Amino acid sequence: MAFRNFGEIVVRATYVAFFVLIVFVAADYGLTRAESLPRFQVLMGSTVIVWLIGCVCSGRLPRTGWFVWVPVVVLLGSAWVRIGMGIYFAQALENLDPVAIEILVSPDGWLAALSQWSSGFEMAASVTALGTTTVLLGGFLMAVEIWQDEAWSRLLLWTMVLTGFSITVLFLLQVTIGPPFQLMNLGGKPTRFFVFNYHGSGASFVNLFWPIALAITGYCLATRSRWASIWIVIPVAMFVALFLNVSKAGNVLAVVGLIVFAIFAAKSIWRMLNAFEIRLRRTHALAVVLPIVVIGISCYYAIPWERWDDYTRDPISVENDTRIRAFREFVKMIPDAGTTGMGVGAFEHRHLEYLKHDPKLSRVPFWVAHQDYIQTVIEWGSLGTALWGLILLPGAFGVARGMFSNRLPQRPPRRNFYWGRWDVCRQWFLALPDARQPLLLAGVATAMLLTAIHAAFDFPMQIPSLGLYFLIWTALGWSQFFALRTEHDDEWDD
């Protein structure tokens, strides 16, 4: 029994480490610098390994179900085997190993096919990319378990939203002080610990958080929880940051997201209005109408009208658009990727082969027409893409199913928990919606949909911090297939 208790203590310690890493990956420049990735891989990988050890010491399996492990293990296992074999054949050739040379030069046989499958891609880039993917999926599996615990899921939700708000505040500081905003050490010199440069990636970041913050705000206001009005500050600040951002796509998606969120949350909001007998006043209507008017006016400046006007007036401009021309060339890589793909991390190193015939495109950075779905198919192939679908789509389905459920909100927490001066803070924390609340899931569904749309013409999922946050929301969808675990049921006052 003592050994099992020790195992659970270890598991909970890894939960805390996971929350710390959520903040770390956002603040460390979104892990967009190459020198950040090894540090993140070690920290997140160690946390996942210790979590698994804690589960073993507790005498239980991870509370994730077995199905989610199948695509994760097959996806990562096949990729690591491929890289391992590629490294073996490369070293064998370097050492002039006669057996390896005979296999490589032989035109027939399954060994020759195996050697061809494991060669032809950039090993260093593949190891880095696959290492990042491995620890991200490890964090995803941890999140599936954490979302099932009522208390820890609230803490995870609180950490995620306040992390998004903190980075939003730093965005606004960048606008005021000038980008990039850098933290200084005690000696007054810039540290290597940065925040996001306020550019396009900032809009992708905020679109992953504002729908959840808006859902929490509506939930706390409807349940009349103490200090509920504090939550209003977070989505408002995020919208200000969005419309100050240079990303036109992020601006447009924010407007689309408001409409989508209203549709997704309509049923839940209607049930809350009836359950809590909330009377709508003119001030409530004003609070709804004013932001819509402001956003509507902002749309004129947010949407890139000039580009659309150029396309409609001159069809040739579409043909000459660098992004569209590069996009068409990258699509030609898909048939060559085949079933197993060109290798993880290969897109950045192989794309120039398809642009070299065009002098203008050959000088264009690969990210000009970068697109997450194309890169996934190119690097992972049709089989790997199907495995990614088995990881992501059930989570999306779980979010959708929970979003349209008939679960009613919780009652507000009782007024006194006998914690002295911390009573108010505890009430504010317990007023957060749990992982099964439809309004919260409507916000999660909106955030996931906006990121999925953005990935169709950009590459937010190639930024490790954004990938981690998207997988955490996906894990929330997976957790909907399991029962919500509670330490004890709180007693409510009449």
Calculate the dihedral angle through the C-alpha atoms of 106, 107, 113, 116, rounding to the nearest 10 degrees.
Answer: 80
pLDDT at 109 over 80: no
Euclidean distance between CA atoms 39 and 62, whole angstroms:
25
pLDDT at 395 over 50: yes
Task: Please state which of the ranges 34-43, 86-95, 180-189, 397-406 shows the lowest mean pLDDT.
Answer: 180-189
Q: Is this structure's pTM higher than 0.75?
A: yes
Name the more confident of 241 and 50. Answer: 50
Euclidean distance between CA atoms 167 and 189, whole angstroms:
21
For 317-339, what is the mean pLDDT?
Answer: 74
Task: Please state which of the ranges 134-138, 354-358, 422-426 shows the lowest mean pLDDT.
Answer: 422-426
Nearest CA to 205 out of 436, 458, 479 is that of 458
- Where residue 92 falls among pLDDT bands split at 50, 70, 90? low
For 246-261, what is the mean pLDDT?
Answer: 80
pLDDT at 57 over 50: yes
pLDDT at 134 over 70: yes
Task: Specify which residues 194 forms β-bridges with.
Answer: 182
Question: Does residue 22 contact residue 160 with C-beta atoms inside 8 Å?
Answer: yes
Q: How many CA atoms lie within 13 A of 459 on its CB side?
A: 17
Name the more confident of 438 and 349. Answer: 438
